[in-house]
Chain A
Amino acid sequence: MPFEENEHQPSSDHMIPEPALHTGPEFAVAEDVHEVVAGEPVVGTSLWRDAWRRLLKNKLAVLGMVVSILIIVASIIGPTIIRRTNGFTYDLIPKDQTLTKSFAPFRNAQGAFSWTHPMGTDNAGRDMLARVLSGGQISLMVALISTFVSLLIGVSYGATAGYVGGRLDDLMMRIVDVLYSLPYVIIVIVLLALLPAKTPTGQLAQLFFALGAVSWLTMARIVRGQVMSLKNQEFVLAARATGVSTPRIIFRHLVPNTMGPVIVYATLTVPTVMLSEAFLSFLGLGVRPPRVSWGSLAAEGAQNLAIFPWQLVFPGVTMALMLFSLNFLGDGLRDALDPQMRKN
């Protein structure tokens, strides 16, 4: 952590420092210089292949990657498979009155062992496995799209401030400083509680926007720092000399070169946003019924905790596992892509 800074960076043990030694995919001087041995072809390793190799060495990161891919795949295809095999969906309430109650995992109506509901059912007899997987779909979708929104805002904002510099940069970064110290969650809660969308889909769109709009600050700072360290290099000068317009220089020439740190930070943003979504859904402000997400399932489960603990345990543990894996993957990616910042 740079000591000169008195800026607060939330959730950072070590964020990416401003001047990092990256070259991105486009202007790759990324080939390691190997000693040329006579008679052997020179094999270059690109930055990305190098990073990939380093990532594979990190056992925890690989584990995180495998687990998160498993959960993602299960969430994407799981609900369809369940519907095809035994007809359960996340909102299917059985017609049979004796089945509309909460069964424990692997139990049927008679209390005997059965494979029908591996995670049990909720109060209305809906299959918990189908609900957890469908909830995963929504949670993942919200997390990915909100991260994308924050990426769009943060990258364009940071790149503009960094490239233009001067007064505009001062002003733009002062705004970021101010927004940093705001308890934004409070405003988001007020927004979502008072302006509930008419439809569940509208509600989701509102979530994307609200979460994306509050999580772009660190991204903007990172990109600004990167752009500032890049903008005086020859290729920018060359572009300017040949008459390329400012927006085009920023988005075609500078932004692609900041991708390394951006990808790393985006990977670390996904779990944070996912947690925020779950937090809002838990309070009843995020995803609304009939849609489910891990947060809203956990909220439901927490209410029936004393009698039907599995209603909380399965969505809660699935989500924790996903966050755990994503965090390790993000940490690993950071170490792999930015060896300078490697955890000592």
Chain B
Amino acid sequence: MLRFIIRRIIVIIPMLFIIVSATWGLIRLAPGNFYTAEKKLAPAVEQNLREKYGLNKPWYTQYRKVLWNMARFDFGTSLKYEGQSVNQILWRALPVSAALGLSAYLLALIVGITIGTVAALRQNSWMDYGSMVIAMLGISIPNFVLGPLLVLLFGLTLFWLPPALWNGFPSKSLILPAITLSAIYIAYIARLSRSGMLEVMRSDYIRTARAKGLRERDVVIRHALRGGLLPVLSFSGPALAFLVTGTVVVERVFALPGLGNYFINACFNRDEPLIIGIVAFIAVAVLAFNLLVDIAYGFVDPRIRY
């Protein structure tokens, strides 16, 4: 187990290196520069700018600086938000994205597992078909359509919830974004837990539990759920990667000042330090989360050995 963890942690380092190098390479390959978006600069001014940001140095010096920055997790100063370091922006945006992602994921777990389990226990009933159609709807309605439609209904017609605003963590402003973001996870988790539960409910150890005379409720909650929800657990790793994608859209739809929103703006502004900072940060988060899920997997399912 320990060897497995160490090996996985060691793999993270070259992967991070590849991601950051690819991003930096793309930024460098792109024609133009961050200052070319606006009006043409006088040659002297351009010269000064290039000097200030180290762009006149050879590429390997710049590349080395990027890698060194990443190693220390200090990405320098943003080009667009002047006077703010990338780290300041990261730490300001992270709580917004984290609050959104976490509440969406919790919501998805609770609702998704409930729907999936009920569907599995009442297999082939109208409840089963109904919940699977709902799950398919959740997969099929893109979040950038669902979000605005929810805003239209609850924000602009019924006036129950604010259409777009950020009021800190426990606030009404989080409800619509969290629902929008969680829709697709509810759907996936419902489908995963349904098929997982169906498989487990037919297994021998469930028959044993029933034969012992346990109540059906105990059989389901204490025995079946643990095995049946393994697919859900292994989905949690990729889910975080999806969550990143989802938050980009949802934060844009609801104008939330989170990582996704900063990331898109940084890409459009060619804000090199900020792009690299956010990419590295997201990569670390996703890789670490994948590792955690694998470790948790070993604990939940004793049949797995590394």
Shortest distance from the beta carbon of A223 to any chain B beta carbon, whole Å: 20
User: Which residues from chain A contact B282 at a C-beta distance below 8 Å?
Assistant: 183, 186
| A312 close to chain B: CB less than 8 A | yes
| B98 close to chain A: CB less than 8 A | no
Shortest distance from the beta carbon of A145 to any chain B beta carbon, whole Å: 20
The answer to whether A301 touches B27, judged by C-beta atoms less than 8 angstroms apart, is: no
User: Which residues from chain B contact A278 at a C-beta distance below 8 Å?
Assistant: 142, 144
Chain A residues with a Cβ closer than 8 Å to the other chain, count: 52
| B139 close to chain A: CB less than 8 A | yes
Interface string of B147-187 (1 = CB under 8 A from A): 11101100010000000000000000000000000000000
Distance in angstroms between the alpha carbons of A9 and B191 in the assembled complex: 14
Shortest distance from the beta carbon of B148 to any chain A beta carbon, whole Å: 5
Shortest distance from the beta carbon of B143 to any chain A beta carbon, whole Å: 8
User: Which residues from chain B contact A185 at a C-beta distance below 8 Å?
Assistant: 241, 244-245, 248
Distance in angstroms between the alpha carbons of A324 and B244 in the assembled complex: 23
Shortest distance from the beta carbon of B167 to any chain A beta carbon, whole Å: 20
The answer to whether B279 touches A186, judged by C-beta atoms less than 8 angstroms apart, is: yes
The interface centre, meaning the residue of B144, B147, B152 with most chain A CB atoms within 10 A of its CB, is B144
Residue of A nearest to B243 (CB): A183
Contacting chain A: which of B47-55, B73-81, B206-214, B260-268? B260-268
| A252 close to chain B: CB less than 8 A | no
User: Which residues from chain A contact B230 at a C-beta distance below 8 Å?
Assistant: 1, 3
The answer to whether A8 touches B156, judged by C-beta atoms less than 8 angstroms apart, is: no
Shortest distance from the beta carbon of A299 to any chain B beta carbon, whole Å: 7
Distance in angstroms between the alpha carbons of A190 and B234 in the assembled complex: 28
Interface string of A176-219 (1 = CB under 8 A from B): 00101111011101110111000000000000000000000000
Quick one: given A190-B23, A298-B142, are A1 and B195 in contact (CB under 8 Å)?
yes
Shortest distance from the beta carbon of B136 to any chain A beta carbon, whole Å: 6
| B19 close to chain A: CB less than 8 A | yes
Quick one: given A306-B156, A323-B139, are A195 and B30 in contact (CB under 8 Å)?
yes
User: Which residues from chain A contact B145 at a C-beta distance below 8 Å?
Assistant: 298, 312, 316-317, 319-320
- The 9 A-B pairs at the shortest CB distance, nearest first, are namely A316-B145, A193-B267, A194-B30, A324-B140, A323-B140, A10-B238, A13-B191, A302-B148, A344-B198
